[in-house]
Amino acid sequence: MTTDAAANKSRDKTRRCRHGYLTLFTAALMACTGSAVGQEAQVDAWEALQYFLGTWKGQESGVAGEGVGERCYALVMERNYIVAANTSTFEPQEANPEGEVHEDWAFFSYDKIRGKVVLREFHSEGFVNRYLLEEWDPQERRFVFESESIENLTEGWRARVTLTVHGENTFSETFELAAPGEEFESLLENQWSRSVNAVLGMK
């Protein structure tokens, strides 16, 4: 191989290496940019969740039958959390002649390390569900939370909660559950109306 040929081969190798590094750098930059956008959207969603602060009355329908709900959302502990206290009362039905009263508490928080809005639910039946906000559509004003863990259910079960704002004082809520290896099925669909148009907060 001549000296010129060797030099050309070396230059080609250098160009390929530079191109490879540039491609990797561009991909990394795009990934970081996407992550930053995602985290910014999560922060926006956390702010948007404060729409729910106040007290609500609900009409509920699902596997437990027809019922009514009462719920209150409030900022607590130096405004680091949104807590929701819920009571749902379902009318007697053939499958449950005595009816049913269900209670749950929910805590929303923002995990700065993961850049994720987190929802934790504590149910009177003993289930504790931890969700991550997987979808936030500011145009549709829709929040979709999908579970990352469920206490007191066998491994593989999944849950999903969707909150959709429909107006200044109304929103809808769906709760879905999926058995291991199965698709989500709707268990509960609720319509909520604000009963006190006020922002509640506690220190």
3-state secondary structure of 113: coil
* Domain over 48-196 is classified CATH 2.60.40.10: no
Q: Two tokens at 74? A: 């409030």
- Whether pLDDT at 14 is above 70: no
Per-residue pLDDT, 151: 97
pTM of the model: 0.77
Whether residue 7 is predicted with pLDDT greater than 80 in this model: the reply is: no
Phi and psi for 97 in degrees, rounded to 5? -60, -25
For the chain, the structural domain boundaries read 48-196
Give the tens place of pLDDT for each residue, 138-176. Answer: 999 999 999 999 999 999 999 999 999 999 999 999 999
Quote the mean pLDDT of the chain.
84
- Type of residue numbered 18: R
- pLDDT for residue 138: 94
The 10s digit of each residue's pLDDT in 50-97 is: 999 999 999 999 988 999 999 999 999 999 999 999 999 999 888 788
Give SS3 for 32: helix
